[in-house]
Structure 1
């Protein structure tokens, strides 16, 4: 028997906080679960219940402004939502409830709460919660302002001055690959949109992303290979892979990374102390593995991207891995760099940084086009690439694929 909004609120008001939140989520599950899509009336009831009994945004008189959650209550609500989501076995119901809680995002306060939830889920390795966040990123659009703000908060909580949790972060590629793929897609929107390196990813963040991509060639396609399970009547947003953004990172890295600072580091050998009665043969040399420099990380990431492009080949249906228009966006950035170098009197064919950049573009284009990973206007892409400074490899690849179109 259906319950009216007034009756449901009357029942929930008998519970004190935070018990009212737990009970509210249970009631929301009953309203939203089922084979048929919920009616508009049911959705209105759900929104009212969430506003009053989950986020305290409205008072008992259904006013527009409630007291809101205190910092302690916010943490309690996040914990309750994570536990509730983890106990749900049906993916469709889980995503429906999660998107009902955070889907609209008109409220900055809710976005802050979601940021806390995502960071806590990463710390606790809560796979169900992270997968739900991954679906949220996809439905909102990985390049949307809300998604960008969410990933910025995650980066702040887990990558700034924090290198102790790399093992836990690295494991996310196996436990929540759809979240990781959409997270990387959003992160690539944040960094390296010019040739000057004015905004580069933190080295700690670069290390983890490089490990994710290099270790798992199918990771970048995870959100497409595992479509989000949404309620009937919903409009699923197309999953965008991070490959175009990562190609941009790797191509621009030679122009942005300051090799002289890294290569100029002094390595001071350890002084050998000979102990009394020590035999020369008893001395055992231990070699500690040196961490990769920023430039070396981009080389490794580039190789991982090439493997991912091979894995992104579609045997059936149109290609979905890389949008040609996203790659065209690289061209004006490189042209700007080339113009600046010409003003300095540089010979572009002898400019090693620029030639390394163009080589990487050529390698990525060859693997992507040969494996049928690129969709959109490929003729326009090849014409745009043809305007870049002279590079033997890139010119051969452009000519070859222009003839095959």
Structure 2
């Protein structure tokens, strides 16, 4: 059937049958490797309900129909067993399509993912993790999606936090990508104006994930073979190393303990990486350089915080000790010593840098 007649047939059927048929058509096209412009147009009109001739005030589906649409999408992906095909369909529905305005698409995706966290929908969450990898962790659509999830589960409905906490078991890939993006959303910086602390409830969830299962931080590696590893480890290292000196006005002793727990989880993740992805460079040189630079700036403004300074430097030393021992960084001891020259003396750091001579 030619596309114009298919489009007319779908328009005649209307929602929800047209949406179900488009999903079937997308799947058939992906199976045959024929996803193209016309396919995207059908998705725009009968999944996102943004027809090409829509007026500026076009409202699309009403609230009840939107709930039905979310259920249709959930049921469709829930019935899939071929992960590769499900990912292809997901990318056709929510991936980049010719620079179109995708605000509506991302609102729908945000609602779908939020619902699927509540229902612990493995396939949708796994597909979302793949979508994040393809879109890029720092792109506006991805940041918007994660901000929406944090808003839903940590701000608006904190009582549902235990639901979010179970996601690491339902979809380790999604949990891994989630943590990676959270560390870019919340960054502890020397400049208070540009520094932002993760919500305590979110920090606790992440610490539980990482400490409870060190492989969580490595879950994305199976989808990035041959590429630069994208994991939450650099961002989490930044958090743990700098947290003693970038104090949150609302921080508590309990929060300090959570960072300690998270730090131990990171070390375990680096050790576990030897078995999962030997010699994968999980701690890039640029991440270490930025961490050291920030730590130097923090030390200069931390008069009277000797214990906190030593804790921060010691955590950095421990991270580098494990990273060098496991081949998780390209830096050797001589290079690390050059970076750390302006940091306060620390016994553990001195031992690490002196051990093994120039290696």
**Structure 1-normalised TM-score?**
0.79
SS at match of 1:403: coil
Please point out which of 50, 62, 71 is paired with 1:57.
50
- More displaced 10-residue stretch of structure 1: 207-216 or 187-196: 187-196
1:43 and 2:36 are equivalent in the alignment: yes
Match of 2:184 among 170, 182, 189: 189
Tell me the residue number matched to 1:67: 58
Residues 228 and 303 (structure 1 numbering): CA distance in 2 closer, same or farther, change over 3 Å? Answer: closer
Match of 1:331 in 2: 292
Q: 2:318 — aligned with what?
A: 363
Q: Does 1:351 align with 2:306?
A: yes
Q: Displacement of 1:170 after TM fit?
A: 2.2
Change (3 A) 1:397 1:315: same
Single out whichever of 211-220 and 9-18 deviates more from structure 2. Answer: 9-18
CA distance in 2, matches of 1:82, 1:376: 45
Q: Which runs of at least 4 in structure 1 moved beyond 6 Å after TM superposition? A: 63-66, 376-379
- When Rg is computed on C-alpha atoms for both structures, the one with the higher figure is 1
CA contact (8 A) 1:138 1:237 kept: no
Q: Give the match for residue 97 of structure 1.
A: 89
Kept in 2: contact 1:323–1:374 (CA 8 A): yes
Any stretches of 5+ residues in structure 1 without a counterpart?
Answer: 230-235, 264-292
Distance of 1:70 and 1:394 partners within structure 2: 60
Specify whether residues 314 and 255 from structure 1 end up closer, same or farther in structure 2 by C-alpha distance, changes over 3 A only: same
The match for 1:137 is 132
1:261, distance to aligned residue in structure 2 (A): 6.7
- Aligned mates of 1:325, 1:295 — CA distance in 2: 26
Where do 5+ consecutive residues of structure 2 fail to align? none
Contact 2:310 2:346 in 1 (8 A): yes
Secondary structure, counterpart of 2:36 in structure 1: helix
Question: 1:309 deviation in Å?
Answer: 0.8
- Call closer, same or farther: CA 1:220–1:7 in 2, change over 3 Å: same
Matches within 5 A, 1:4-403: 4-34=2-32, 37-38=33-34, 42-59=35-52, 67-70=58-61, 72=63, 73-104=65-96, 106-160=101-155, 162-195=157-190, 198-225=195-222, 227=223, 239-257=229-247, 262=252, 293-313=254-274, 318-341=279-302, 346=303, 351-375=306-330, 382-400=337-355, 403=358
Whole-Å Cα distance in 2 between the matches of residues 27 and 179 of structure 1?
27
SS at match of 2:214: coil
After TM superposition, give the deviation of residue 213 of structure 1 in Å.
0.3
Distance 1:63 1:315 in 2: 50
TM-score scaled by structure 2?
A: 0.89
Determine the C-alpha separation between the residues in 1 that align with 2:208 and 2:312: 22
Distance in 1 (CA, whole Å) between partners of 2:336 and 2:143 is 27
Q: 3-state DSSP class of the match of 2:259?
A: helix
Greater relative contact order (Cα 8 A, min sep 6): structure 1 or 2?
Answer: 1
Aligned residues: 353
Distance, in Å, in 1 between the alignment partners of 2:10 and 2:85 is: 21
Q: 1:117-176: CA deviations, max 9, x gaps?
A: 111110111111111111111111112222111111110001115443333222211110
Deviation digits for residues 183-218 of structure 1 (CA, Å, limit 9, x no counterpart): 100100011330366410111101110110000011
| Separation (CA, whole Å) in 2 of partners of 1:31 and 1:334 | 52
| SS class of match (1:193) | coil
Could you tell me whether the CA contact under 8 Å between 2:188 and 2:246 is conserved in 1?
Answer: no
Q: CA deviation at 1:112?
A: 1.5
2: distance between equivalents of 1:133 and 1:7? Answer: 32
Contact 2:280 2:328 in 1 (8 A): yes
Rounded to whole Å, the distance in 2 between the matches of 1:96 and 1:261 is 43
